[in-house]
Structure 1
Amino acid sequence: MEDIAAQRAAEWLVTEHLAGHRFVTLGPPAAPATVPDAYDIQDRYVALLSRENGAPVGYKVGLTSAAMQAFCRIDHPIAGVVLASRVHCSGNRVQRTDFGRLGLEFEIAVRIKSDIPAAAAAHTAETIAPHIDGVCAAIELVDDRAADYASLDVRSLVADNSWNAGIVLSDFKPDWPDLAPLRGLASRDGDLIGEGHGRDILGHPFNSVAWLASHLASRGTSLKAGQIVMTGSVMKTVFPEHEAHYRFEIEALGAVEVRVCSTA
């Protein structure tokens, strides 16, 4: 995509967020014609966001479960960038009014131990595993700005940084069992609201990281030591409507919690 068009689209996204407008498909003259065009816009949008939110510290991978792909009517993963000021520790409080519409996604996050070089062949869970030194339960904060999922356009979603608005992390575990069979339980004020397993994330969370590594290589970049990767939700997004306490517990990994507040 031409630089001028991508920059214009990125600036429009910033304006839309500041104005509190509902998510809509990017239109001409800056509409992305392809998914790579959408990532060109995302790169410039993230650069603008970094001025207020700090440098990139990792990535989110979205639409990695059958439930989320069906929910969004999109049949492949997508990626977004996580910025420094948007990383929160378990127990953090967030305000619903800070988002167009806040969504919570219940995930497994990993921390990268060593740089992952581009490979001639696509990365796999096996080639990725030696580059990971920590795994934890996590919740992604997404802002879909009340999107209409019946007409959702993947290119506009990707351009809007795949809706990442922050992450909440438990403590990283330096040792972990096979992640595929691990069960995760999500609750609101102590009541179960959903569950899933590690295998719901592309068969294994490391497959999600492998997809991301290959995606980044196609764009001339790579995963670096210390970065965090949100591997994708094990269940459908939850949209808080009232003040509540949310908890996501994964056997053998621990639990992560966030308090959603309606007022400051």
Structure 2
Amino acid sequence: MDRVLAAAKAIASARRSRAPLKALPKDVVPRDEAEGYQVQYALHALMQPHVGSLVGYKIGCTSAVMQEYINIPHPCGGGVFEKVVHDSGVQLPAAEFVHVGVECEIAVRLARDLAPSEAPFTAEWVAEAIDAYYPAIEIVDDRYVKWETLGAPTLIADDFFAAGCVLGEAVPRINMPDLRAVAGRAIVNGKEEGRGTGADVLGHPHNALAWLANHLATEGRGLHAGQIVLTGSLVKTVWLKAGDTVVMELDGLGKVEATFT
């Protein structure tokens, strides 16, 4: 486990100093995705004094457009922390990120725990555990010298670009539209930069949530009541510059806005 902790410390140090991460030293780079997740969990413990407690997860690479863009053919998970969950309308300094980007997402809040002992989970099963949905902006950060060269294990170790989220108004499950048909639009400074539908997220966002619950269960971990899960981007990542205002509009769920000053 020493190499796991050494990798986590190297990533934590880069994050705290906002220094773009180069490839990890050969003797600590995670050898496979399973070890990448071990490093990620060690990183979460190291980061909590700075970003608060773990309040949920993000799921990356859930749509064809994102799998093609990142060149990873399956979903990947990362953590979401208390101090980087924001309300719609937030203004955030662009200088707090190495290179900030945004994604258009459907987020869910869990009404109950999904314990590892309940696995395997299906989309229908996890749907029953949701109490609300949100239009969401996932904030991502390209905090790498060249992410294309790092490989999935290292990107997973560093929470797969996760840098927080912005949530709109909660929509109770009883009022939820057909998520497959929900169209999402990413609008930057009044100009549409991407669009997609809920069906682009593994066929249905609930499939992504089931993937996460099953993935965590293999490691003896569960999801907990009150946690937020970002189910994956409907659009290709939009990279921003200081001064940009972003609005994500999701039909039937509402809209969510943020400005990066």
Q: TM-score, normalised by structure 1?
A: 0.94
**Counterpart AA for 2:30:** P
Q: Deviations over 1:120-164 (max 9, x none)?
A: 653221111110010111001111215535424101100011121
Q: Quick one: percent identity of the two aligned structures?
A: 39
**Counterpart AA for 1:227:** Q
What CA distance in whole angstroms lies between the structure 1 residues aligned with 2:129 and 2:119? Answer: 17
Query: Does residue 1:256 correspond to 2:256, yes or no?
Result: yes
Q: Deviations over 1:44-77 (max 9, x none)?
A: 1111110121110000000101111100111111
Match of 1:135 in 2: 133
Equivalent positions of 1:98-113 (< 5 A) are 98-113=96-111
Match of 1:9 in 2: 7
> Which has the higher mean CA deviation after the structures are superposed, 120-129 or 40-49?
120-129
Match of 2:189 in 1: 189
**Counterpart AA for 1:157:** L
Aligned-pair distance for 1:119? Answer: 5.2
**Structure 1, unaligned stretches of length 5 or more?**
none
What CA distance in whole angstroms lies between the structure 2 residues aligned with 1:113 and 1:201? Answer: 22
3-state SS of 1:165 partner: strand
Equivalent positions of 1:186-225 (< 5 A) are 186-225=186-225
Contact 1:23 1:144 survives alignment (8 Å): no
> Which has the higher mean CA deviation after the structures are superposed, 131-140 or 111-120?
111-120
What CA distance in whole angstroms lies between the structure 2 residues aligned with 1:118 and 1:50? Answer: 23
Match of 1:163 in 2: 161
**Counterpart AA for 1:205:** P
Match of 2:84 in 1: 86
Match of 1:148 in 2: 146
**Counterpart AA for 2:130:** I
3-state SS of 1:180 partner: helix
Match of 1:227 in 2: 227
Q: 1:173/1:147 Cα in 2 relative to 1: closer, same or farther (>3 Å)?
A: farther
Equivalent positions of 1:109-120 (< 5 A) are 109-118=107-116
Aligned-pair distance for 1:177? Answer: 1.7
Contact 1:106 1:138 survives alignment (8 Å): yes
